[in-house]
């Protein structure tokens, strides 16, 4: 239900970024929802194929969710076309568990699975907004060499490099005051303003993105979906600016 909630809120916004960049004529298309079942490996295969097809056509996919586990097949699909792919991961959680509640493909294991992909090193992963780690996950981060930007250090954060980047934006990177409608809210997060500013400070070629964990059942006023829609619109503007 997350993607449609984001779509509905996007309809209430004008097609301009907050800096008045008009996106009305942008060559972009909403391809709708994928037909997925509840078998993880099959669902991942459908996602991987669909995202890979778009990247192969030279487009930049922005995938809406839903559970953060979808980043695993999305990133893998983009990685096949961009071997030196870096991940910038906005989230309250590091998602470095090997298994969570017995599930190796849980939303809490996303970055751990990405670290296991061929050619991916910890130095290719930057996690932003983290504030719900554990000693075990911190040890994995340190051993693997991932870069962590905690929530209290987001404002000076900048990622600047001439490498392809996949951005994963978990809406729970925002403080629950700005995004209550998610499965795992964590107090002490960043504001929508801080998050949008940090997103603009990703100064690198963005070749894929997802915006995930919007749960409309927990978002009666729609402010979480509205924040996600704003993230998508601003991201489209960043893509336009990067190719200008």
Average pLDDT over residues 185-212: 97
Q: 103: helix, coil or strand? A: strand
42 φ/ψ angles, rounded to the nearest 5 degrees: -65, -45
Distance CA 222, CA 174 (A): 15
Nearest to 200 by CA among 231, 243, 163, 173: 231
CB count in 10 Å sphere of residue 56: 11
Distance CA 244, CA 242 (A): 6
**What's the gap between Cα 158 and its chain centre?**
17
Region of residue 26 (phi > 0: left; psi between -120 and 50: alpha; otherwise: beta): beta
Beta carbons within 8 Å of 49's beta carbon, 6+ residues apart: 77
Nearest to 240 by CA among 33, 88, 19, 14: 19
**DSSP-based helix, strand, coil % in the chain, nearest 5:** 40, 15, 45
| Side-chain half-sphere exposure of 20, counting CA atoms within 13 A | 0
pLDDT at 244 over 80: no
pLDDT at position 104, please? 84
144 φ/ψ angles, rounded to the nearest 5 degrees: -85, -20
- pLDDT bracket for residue 17 (50, 70, 90): very high
pLDDT at 53 over 90: yes
Give the domains, in start order, of the chain with CATH numbers: 2-13+61-243 (3.40.800.10)
pLDDT at 235 over 80: yes
pLDDT at 232 over 80: yes
Average pLDDT over residues 164-180: 97
Name the average pLDDT for the chain.
95
What is each CA distance from 54 to 57, 89, 100, in whole angstroms?
A: 5, 21, 31
27 φ/ψ angles, rounded to the nearest 5 degrees: -80, 75
**Reported pTM:** 0.96
What is each CA distance from 85 to 54, 76, 118, 123, 189, in whole angstroms?
A: 16, 10, 11, 11, 27
């Amino acid at each position: 239900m997350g993607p449609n909630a984001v779509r509905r809120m996007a309809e209430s916004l004008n097609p301009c970024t907050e800096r008045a960049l008009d996106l009305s004529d942008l060559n972009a298309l909403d391809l709708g929802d994928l037909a997925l079942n509840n078998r993880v490996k099959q669902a991942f295969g459908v996602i991987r194929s669909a995202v890979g097809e778009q990247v192969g056509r030279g487009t930049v996919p922005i995938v809406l969710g839903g559970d953060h586990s979808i980043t695993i097949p999305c990133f893998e699909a983009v990685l096949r076309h961009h071997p030196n792919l870096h991940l910038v991961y906005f989230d309250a959680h590091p998602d470095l568990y090997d298994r969570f509640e017995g599930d190796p493909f849980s939303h809490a294991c996303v970055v751990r699975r990405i670290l296991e992909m061929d050619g991916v090193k910890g130095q290719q992963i930057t996690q932003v907004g983290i504030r719900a780690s554990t000693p075990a996950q911190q040890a994995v981060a340190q051993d693997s060499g991932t870069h962590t930007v905690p929530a209290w250090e987001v404002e000076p954060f900048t990622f600047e490099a001439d490498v392809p980047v996949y951005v994963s934006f978990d809406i729970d990177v925002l403080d629950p005051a700005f995004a209550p409608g998610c499965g795992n809210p964590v107090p002490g997060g960043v504001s929508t303003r801080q998050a949008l500013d940090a997103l603009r400070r990703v100064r690198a070629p963005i070749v894929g993105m997802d915006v995930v964990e919007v749960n409309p059942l927990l978002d009666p006023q729609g402010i979480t979906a509205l924040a996600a829609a704003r993230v998508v619109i601003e991201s489209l503007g960043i893509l336009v600016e990067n190719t200008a």
